[in-house]
Chains A and B, each alone.
Chain A
């Protein structure tokens, strides 16, 4: 039987991810990997999922979202609370609890994705971008005022009132403390595979084509009977669910976590991964997210100058890859290769 081109691509992609995982896992178990890097493995998985899911919105659906970290934070806290609650009702197996918490995180982020998507997707261009930023900030502010506690199997919530009965799970601006760290690197790997299956198969399906049609030419897509808002929503909510799952994984890998961690800067960080990896280019997102999550760790020696170098590199990369004369110069120096970058660049 002749395989579809997209099927072959998928098999190759999954193969590479699986091989990368096996290599990392062997390095960890044989002790080759440095401790500091080992601690970065789960965040790498989390940011890969964040970048790929944001790429679904920015690259495939063509809408600039500046509030992706908001969905992550919803996933973080619903995942932490979910995990504690699951433990209380007797789900003791950590693996089961972790995956159920990730699903809880995804579901909650998805619900908010729908609620936020309804107003956001009515807007266009920069207005849409600023409103996603606004929602991200609102989520963070509201989370700062929420208190959750668990009394037996009963969950208590209060707004702006720290005195609630039971063990405190989330303590307003102080966030969640003493989280049982059940997240594992293999779970992160499974989440990456799941994300790739969802995003890549979605792109190569009827719905994915509709999403891209709506991006490339809204008016033509509508004239072809495609409900543009529906498909923009589909991309937005799918991305929110994935970000929520990544958030849950992240939250359950940290002993303490506060809502302040997921402010505007985190959204921007993920956006930088997406843009540097190539808009619309899924593999680019994966590589950029992995490298740039490790990079600060590697630059530890330069501690003070770390962010400065990062900023300069960021500006230079944008100038070199986007300026016509620089590009021409670059293509003279380096013989032309496959146009993965330029293909993605056409999206926005």
Chain B
């Protein structure tokens, strides 16, 4: 029972990371209607920046995270402006391939700068741990921090999209880009903002991911990226609470699956659950089904 609880908490922690990444995917998809495959690599960049800030510049962790967020935000906006904006009217597949190109570009640039040797990410937030059940259940401060960060981000984003003018503009653009433009919303700026927020979140996710799983490589972001993308689809792509629920469920399923079913098949299980969910709810858990007008 205690071990189950431990796995469960680890699952929530991993799920929180997925959820934060998935938020980036889902917001970009909702607004730009594109699968941003490079998102996973922005996570990796964020983690490397934080790593460098702490190891080489000896900055305090919080400042390092801030550094990573600033760099990733700029990176996200630049990628959007240079690679995706020119293709706004292009076929979906062209944008997808461009995103894949950007993903290769980021990975290989990182490879040249930081080499493929794994870096050991410093345990930045290790300020102690909570021991329960006579020390049988140890919850590290990273775990707690991840979960708390997730909750804070969730609340902040919900408030942002429902209360602020920019947030409402984002929702309007995702609903109907043409109509939003006619209402005087600057669509390009809104999309840039979305990329900025998504990328800043990716930086946070990168640091959180690497403080729990401390090996950092140029390919670190790709698998969590794909899984977070799965989580976004699972919860209903385009939906912010959907990304949150999808991420959490996926993390829990993955950890429990690895613990109780098979270590090798943990990933397969995640994808299998996605398929089953989509068969019963073709637009994800919280997604809205679309009806084509005849």
Q: Does a CB–CB distance below 8 Å link A and B in the complex?
A: yes
Which A residues contact B (CB, under 8 angstroms)? 58, 64, 119, 122-124, 126-127, 129-131, 133-135, 137-138, 141-142, 144-145, 160, 173, 219, 264, 268, 271-272, 275-276, 279, 304-305, 307-308, 310-312, 314-315, 318-319, 321-326, 345, 348
Chain A residues whose C-beta falls within 8 Å of the C-beta of B132 in the assembled complex = none
Q: Taking the complex as formed, is B78 at the interface, i.e. its CB lies under 8 A from any CB of chain A? A: no
- Scoring B residues 253 to 294 as 1 if CB is less than 8 Å from chain A, else 0, what string do you get? 000000000101101100110110011001110000000101
Which of A126, A138, A312, A322 contacts B90 (CB under 8 A)? A322
| A residues in contact with B93, CB < 8 Å | 58, 64, 275, 279, 348
A-B contact pairs, 23 of them (CB 8 A): A64-B96, A119-B275, A119-B279, A122-B279, A123-B282, A124-B282, A126-B237, A127-B278, A131-B278, A133-B226, A135-B275, A138-B272, A142-B265, A160-B262, A173-B264, A275-B97, A279-B91, A308-B104, A315-B102, A315-B105, A319-B86, A322-B91, A348-B91
**Which B residues lie within 8 Å of A129 (CB)?**
35
B3 within 8 A of A: no
A172: nearest residue on chain B (CB-CB)? B264
**A277 smallest CB distance to B (angstroms):** 12
- What A residues does B89 contact at CB under 8 A? 324
Given A131-B274, A319-B87, are A145 and B104 neighbors across the interface (CB < 8 Å)? Answer: no
Residues of B within 8 A of A138 (CB): 268, 271-272
The reply to whether B275 and A137 contact each other, CB–CB distance below 8 Å, is: no
- Chain B residues in contact with chain A, CB under 8 A? 29, 35, 83, 86-87, 89-94, 96-98, 100-102, 104-105, 107-109, 111-112, 226, 229-230, 233, 237, 262, 264-265, 267-268, 271-272, 274-275, 278-279, 282-284, 292, 294
Report B17 CB to chain A, min CB distance, Å.
19
Tell me the minimal C-beta distance from B72 to chain A in angstroms.
Answer: 19
Hey, which chain A residues are within 8 Å of B271, CB to CB?
Answer: 134-135, 137-138, 141
| Contacting pair B274 A323 (CB below 8 A) | no
Contact partner of B274 (CB less than 8 A), chosen from A130, A271, A318, is A130
Residue from the list B29, B87, B226 in contact with A322, Cβ < 8 A: B87
In angstroms, Cα B108 to Cα A312, docked, is 10
A326 to chain B minimum Cβ distance, whole angstroms, is: 7
Q: How far is the CA of A74 from the CA of B275 in the complex (A)?
A: 20
Of the candidates B100, B101, B230, B265, which one forms a contact with A130 in the assembled complex, judged by CB atoms under 8 Å apart? Answer: B230
Pair B92/A348 contact, Cβ less than 8 Å: yes
Q: List A contacts of B98 (CB < 8 A).
A: 314-315, 318-319
Q: In whole angstroms, how far apart are the Cα atoms of A314 and B104 in the complex?
A: 9
Please determine whether B283 and A311 come into contact, CB atoms closer than 8 angstroms.
Answer: no
Q: Return chain A residues, CB-CB under 8 Å to B294.
A: 219
Contact of B91 with A345 in the complex, beta carbons under 8 Å: yes
Query: Within the complex, what minimum Cβ distance (angstroms) separates B250 from chain A?
Result: 12
Q: How far is the CB of B255 from chain A (nearest CB, A)?
A: 16
* Of the residues A130, A272, A310, A315, contact of B233 by C-beta under 8 Å: A130
**Contact among A134, A311, A323 for B104, CB-based, below 8 A:** A311
Name B264's contact: one of A130, A131, A144 (CB within 8 Å).
A144
Nearest chain B CB to A263 CB, angstrom units: 9
Q: Cβ of A308 and Cβ of B282 under 8 Å apart?
A: no
How many angstroms between the C-alpha atoms of A159 and B171 in the bound complex?
48
The 6 A-B residue pairs whose C-beta atoms are closest, nearest first, are A311-B104, A134-B271, A141-B268, A314-B101, A322-B90, A315-B101
Q: Cα distance A131–B35 when bound, in Å?
A: 14
Name A's interface SS.
Answer: helix
- A127 touches which of B94, B102, B109, B283 (Cβ 8 Å): B283
Shortest CB distance A108–B (Å): 19
CB pair B104 A307 closer than 8 Å: yes
Query: Which of the residues A131, A144, A311, A321 comes within 8 Å of B105, measured between beta carbons?
Result: A311
Q: Which of B96, B112, B267 is close to A141, meaning CB atoms less than 8 Å apart?
A: B267
> Which residues of chain A are within 8 angstroms of B105 by Cβ–Cβ distance?
308, 311-312, 315
Chain A minimum-CB-distance residue to B106: A311
> Could you tell me if A318 and B282 are in contact, using CB atoms closer than 8 angstroms?
no
Please give, as numbers and ranges, the residues of chain B lying within 8 Å of A311 by CB-CB distance: 101-102, 104-105, 108
User: Are the CB atoms of B275 and A160 closer together than 8 Å?
Assistant: no
Query: Complex Cα distance A345/B94, Å?
Result: 9
Known: A141-B271, A314-B97. 12 other contacts (CB 8 A): A130-B230, A141-B267, A268-B100, A307-B108, A308-B112, A311-B104, A311-B108, A314-B100, A315-B98, A318-B98, A319-B86, A323-B87
Known: A127-B233, A131-B274. A319 touches B92 (CB 8 A): no
Evaluate contact between A304 and B112: CB separation under 8 angstroms: yes
Q: Across the interface, name the chain B residue whose C-beta is closest to A345.
A: B91
| Residue ID in chain A nearest B79 by CB atoms | A315
* Contact A272–B97 (Cβ < 8 Å): yes
Report whether A134 and B90 are in contact in the complex, using a CB–CB cutoff of 8 Å: no
**Which residue of chain A lies nearest to B273 when distances are taken between CB atoms in the complex?**
A134
In Å, the complex CA distance between A160 and B268 comes to: 14
Q: Which residues of B contact A131 (CB under 8 A)?
A: 274-275, 278
- Tell me, in angstroms, the Cα distance from A142 to B272 when the chains sit together: 11
- A146 to nearest B CB, angstroms? 10
Q: How far is the CB of A201 from chain B (nearest CB, A)?
A: 25
**Closest-CB distance, A123 to chain B (whole angstroms):** 6
**Cα A323 to Cα B86 with chains together (Å):** 6
Which residue of A219, A308, A319 is within 8 Å of B109 (Cβ)? A308
Q: A307-B104, A308-B105 are in contact. Are A315 and B83 (CB under 8 A)?
A: yes
B35 cross-chain contacts in A, Cβ below 8 A: 126, 129
State in angstroms the CA–CA spacing of A173 and B262 once bound together.
14
> Which single residue of chain B is at the shortest CB-CB distance from A119?
B279
Asked whether A271 lies within 8 Å of B97 as measured between CB atoms, the reply is yes
Give the complex CA separation of A130 and B227 in angstroms.
10
B274 CB contacts on chain A under 8 angstroms: 130-131, 134
The CA of A232 and the CA of B283, in the complex, are separated in Å by: 20
